[in-house]
Chains A and B, each alone.
Chain A
Amino acid sequence: MRPFFSSQTLILAGCSLFVLYLAGIPLLMLLYGSFRSAPIGEPGAAYTIQNYVKAYFDREFYLLFWNSLKYAIGTCVISFLIGTYLAWISERTNTPLKKLFMVMSLIPFIIPGILSTIAWILLLSPKIGLINIVVKGLLGLESAPFNIYSMGGMVWAEAIHLYPLVFLLMSAAFRNMDTSLEEAALTAGSSTFTTFRRVTLPLMRPAMFGVMLIMFVRGIEAFEVPALVGVPAKISVFTTKIFLAIHQFPSDFGLAGAYAVTLLLISTVGVLIYQRVTRKEDRYATVTGKGYRPRVIDLGPWKYATCASAFVIFFLAVILPVFVLLWSSFIPYYGIPSAELVAKLTLANYKYILNYPLAVTAFQNSFYLSVGSATLVMLLTSVIAWITVKSKLPGRVFLDNMTFIPIAMPGIVLGVSLIWVYLTLPIPIYGTIWVLLLAYITKFMPYGIRAASASMIQINKELEEASLASGGTWFQTFRKVLLPLLMPGFVAGWIYISIISLRELSTSILLYSYNSTVLSIMAFDLWEGGQYTYVCALGVLMVLLLVAMAYTARKLGAKIGIAE
């Protein structure tokens, strides 16, 4: 009989319990802490609903709510329009240079949110914005035409950063459409436009709705743009309010908790609706699996116009921000390009950064956290994927759902909960790099499980059974048969997680300390300190690091095109 403490039981139970701990405890602590009258660990705490009362009855609350909603919806709509337009011309028309589109659409993924925000401030700030200065000069205007410190400016900065995600998702949706359904409409006599209206659109509706939901959730949990642009502009949203509540003196943990729970509720509802919608989508499933090439619409001479428009978008989304970052990193003090400044191009900023003691620490920390969290997440989720996909163990559905909880948790909310967890539990990792590691593992688990599950499903059960029939234990089977065969998904997940962990800010910002600082936090600090040129140099180095990682990853044969 199998011994109770076999390696199989230990590994399976260990991983499951770890996942439950990671996903469940922060949630519980958050709820608990929001109902306490004093910060956790301090005497005199009692159960109370004062935090919520204070939060909801504050007039500011409704302003917050309204701003957050406006911001999220605005981001959702703009990014959706841009992304879907690009996806449509890429997948369904004969616009030339499509391969270039794919590559250029993925570049914004590599640029961390904080850097693109900084770039857009440097472009559209009313006083120092590059675009403003140039346009003002060209058109002889009195005042700057664009102001980033407005709701419109914020929405623009976020949307232009997020549209690549829409592009990926909608491209996939367009690609999976069975065009024979459209062709049937055409043979029945309807025009191209009518076909689009009565066949294509309805078929795409579930996908479109799903994508918009994701973007809405993204908008509501966004942090970088609201923190760097919204705060100076006095436009507050939930995420920045939570941040400020913690960073003010004295910290108002209770209030932060109440707001965090509220934000969590909104994003959870969004995610649940999304899951419900995508499940129903099976009814609209149009994948035939026979490799149909979707019918491509001939645009005639218009195809040059669409191609040009795509390049305009890339120029705005990629070239401009990268340019302004590069430019600012090579000049001694901030200013618009002029002959005088060009003469003063220097490497001083880079020298400063590379000699800045904290910078070395930040690079090391970011690198270790990136590699560490990616590896641990993929190992953990490989085991979990086996449980949920291959085994008949009881409770596997529950475990599957638990691994997805972090998706509904905005980064800042996770940060708040983890503060509480590690101030309460007698595990002395608060303020160290280990709490950041745990936070990253929690946050990126859902991405890992998706990659691992997709790969696990494709492994024929008989390959596993053959190992058992040959005498192998569960662990030998996992190590020698499953893991090697899982490699494509493992590597793809690893690459994705290593890259997004380098960009992470909203969770780290509440959990870091001097010695556990990471690159994105350092950029944030430099910016807040007004060190524009230094932060741009740091930014360029960050992007180079990310590009190097992505390139090496590519070489290892995995594609970054994993849609959410």
Chain B
Amino acid sequence: MAEKRQMVQIESLEKYFGEDKERVHVLKGISLSIPEGSLYTFLGPSGCGKTTTLRCVAGLERPEGGKISIDGNAVFASGERVYVPTNKRPIGMVFQSYAIWPHMTVFQNVAYPLTIHRRPKSEIKRRVEDVLKVVGLHGLEDRPAPKLSGGQQQRVAFARALVNEPKVLLLDEPLSNLDAKLRVQMRFEIKALQRRINITTIFVTHDQSEALAISDQIAVMHAGKLIEVGTPHQLYSRPTRKFTATFLGLTNLIEGKVIEMGGDSKPGRIETKKGILSFIPATSLGRNQAAVISIRPEHIPVHKEKPQGLDNVVEGTVKEAIFMGDAYHCQIAVGDMLLAVHTHPFLNMSPGEKVYLYLDPQSCNGIPAEDTEGMDESIMGD
């Protein structure tokens, strides 16, 4: 694959909030690299540092250490005392509250980046109308801002961020304030827009389904640290960190100790309480290393009778089976473990039934067991 140009580079970003006794370490050495033209998402729970990192790229927060470059030029470098103020960075930003100025019309809001740079009136008119067409607000130029709906305000915010053709588009949870239906619809519009103009975009969200739906790459963050970076598919199917596995979608975690490490095509083997399981290592694991198998509820076929000739089969009893319409969400007790399993709605599952679960080695991800730092140890992730 050809080496893609990196538009934004972040190295070892450190940030503290507060003073003296209330000092909080919010960014602990964040390093990542965003390729040109990609839709790159910062994903994580509240307080993980994703918005802070975005604001550091924008220049609205000043980090205590590290380096940030946009298109090869350093905009912040603590070592060399470089700091380019926000209004000189080649960025466009959409804020969570949209920040549409209530005392201006749609046109004035969108034209602002051009007006303050003293572009000629005819050029402003042309560029504003073009970008309003792109976001689908053509014709609303003279509407006063307070008379816009939430969805319209959001589009104005986008138009304003794009009108000056920035190199990087920064989106701070732009969909959080919309109702569920609009959120889903806008998701795809943003993706389509981004692809069409091919602008490097940083998207911040705590909603993992959103992240999975539109990102080219996702950076998972937690408690100020970067956990893992990958494509949605990689992170969902082959997470290499426990946090990623539990944060993205639901998963089951089975603890054990590695007997055989496994490799490219050969599955590894792990000793667990329910016997020896084969698995695919997501990352390199050493022998005797404490590890955890992650397997998603929708990847566990359920058999009423013990299937023959298969490895990784365990016996269990159905504890709960909740009908969700498109599936049964079941809790199945295997020994003293409780596994979450999603089954086909036609499969009749009733509590107390004895069933057999096939843990397909291809679906078993081997992940290092780590210090959880206060993470929830339960099997069901969120």
A interface with B by C-beta (< 8 Å): 1-2, 460, 462-463, 465-473, 476, 480-481, 484-485
Asked whether any CB of chain A lies closer than 8 Å to the CB of B323, the reply is no
Specify the main secondary structure of chain A where it touches its partner: helix
> How far is A484 from B161 in the complex, measured between Cα atoms in Å?
22
Closest Cβ–Cβ distance, residue A548 to chain B (whole Å)? 29
CA distance A466 to B83 in the complex (A): 19
The residues of A that contact B170 with a CB separation of less than 8 Å are 469
Q: How far is the CB of B220 from chain A (nearest CB, A)?
A: 26
Cβ contact within 8 Å between B102 and A485: yes
Taking a contact as CB atoms closer than 8 A, the residue among A469, A473, A481, A484 that contacts B93 in the complex is: A469
Closest to B108 in A: A480
On chain B, the residues within 8 Å of A469 by CB distance are 58, 60, 86-87, 91-93, 95, 161, 170
Nearest A residue (CB) for B96: A462
CA distance A473 to B115 in the complex (A): 12
B97 touches A471 (CB 8 A): no
Residues of chain A contacted by B101 (CB below 8 angstroms): 463, 466, 481, 485
Out of B95, B103, B164, which one reaches A466, CB within 8 Å? B95
Residues of B within 8 A of A466 (CB): 93, 95, 99-101, 157, 160
List the 9 closest pairs (A to B, CB-CB), nearest first: A466-B99, A469-B93, A462-B99, A470-B113, A468-B86, A462-B95, A484-B103, A472-B116, A468-B87
The 13 sampled A-B contact pairs (Cβ below 8 Å) are A460-B97, A460-B99, A466-B95, A466-B99, A466-B160, A467-B87, A469-B86, A470-B160, A472-B87, A472-B112, A480-B116, A484-B103, A485-B103
> How big is the B interface, by class?
20 to 34
Cβ contacts under 8 Å, A481 to chain B: 101
Point out the residues of chain B lying under 8 angstroms from A460, CB to CB.
97, 99
Q: Which of B91, B99, B164 has the most CB of A within 10 A?
A: B99
Q: What 14 new A-B contacts, CB under 8 Å, besides A1-B84, A470-B113, A472-B87? A: A460-B99, A463-B99, A466-B93, A468-B59, A468-B60, A468-B87, A469-B161, A469-B170, A470-B92, A470-B161, A471-B87, A471-B116, A481-B101, A484-B103
Q: Smallest Cβ distance from A162 to chain B, in angstroms?
A: 38
Instruction: List the interface of chain B (C-beta within 8 A of A).
Output: 58-60, 83-88, 91-93, 95-97, 99-103, 112-113, 116-117, 157, 160-161, 164, 170
User: In the complex, which residue of chain A has the Cβ closest to the Cβ of B55?
Assistant: A465
Q: How far is the CA of A484 from the CA of B112 in the complex (A)?
A: 15
For the complex, give the distance between the alpha carbons of A485 and B59 in Å. 24
Smallest CB separation, B377 vs chain A (Å): 38
**Which of A2, A471, A473, A484 is packed against the most chain B CB atoms within 10 Å?**
A471
Which residue among A467, A469, A473, A476 has the maximum number of chain B CB atoms within 10 Å of its CB? Answer: A469
Taking the closest CB of chain A, its distance from the CB of B158, in whole angstroms, is 12
Nearest CB on A from B183, distance (A): 20
Chain B residue contacts of A484, Cβ below 8 A: 103
Give complex CA distance A466, B161 in Å: 9
Q: How far is the CA of A462 from the CA of B101 in the complex (A)?
A: 10
Closest Cβ of chain A: how far from B14's Cβ, in Å?
Answer: 18
- Distance of B204 from chain A, by nearest CB (Å): 14
* Residues in chain A near residue B60, CB distance under 8 A: 465, 468-469
Docked CA distance A480–B115 (Å): 11
The 8 Å CB contact of B164, one of A462, A468, A471, A473, is A471
Instruction: Give Cα A466–Cα B86 distance, bound, in whole angstroms.
Output: 10
A316 to B113, CA, bound (A): 60
Contact, CB under 8 Å: B58 / A470: no
In Å, the complex CA distance between A462 and B157 comes to: 12
Q: Which residue of B lies closest to A485 (CB)?
A: B103
**B81's closest neighbor in chain A, by CB?**
A1
Note all chain A residues with C-beta closer than 8 A to B86.
465, 468-469
CB neighbours of B160 from chain A (8 A)? 466, 470
Do A471 and B117 have beta carbons less than 8 Å apart? yes
Distance, CA A233 to CA B116, complexed state (A): 66
- Which residues of chain A are near B59, meaning CB under 8 Å? 468
Task: Give the residues in chain A near B112, CB-CB below 8 Å.
Answer: 467, 470, 472, 480
Bound complex: CA A415 to CA B85 (Å) = 45
Q: Which residues of B contact A485 (CB under 8 A)?
A: 101-103
Smallest Cβ distance from B163 to chain A, in angstroms? Answer: 9
Residues of A within 8 A of B113 (CB): 470-471
How long is the Cα–Cα vector from A467 to B86 in the complex, in angstroms? 10
Measured CA separation A468–B161 after assembly (Å) = 11
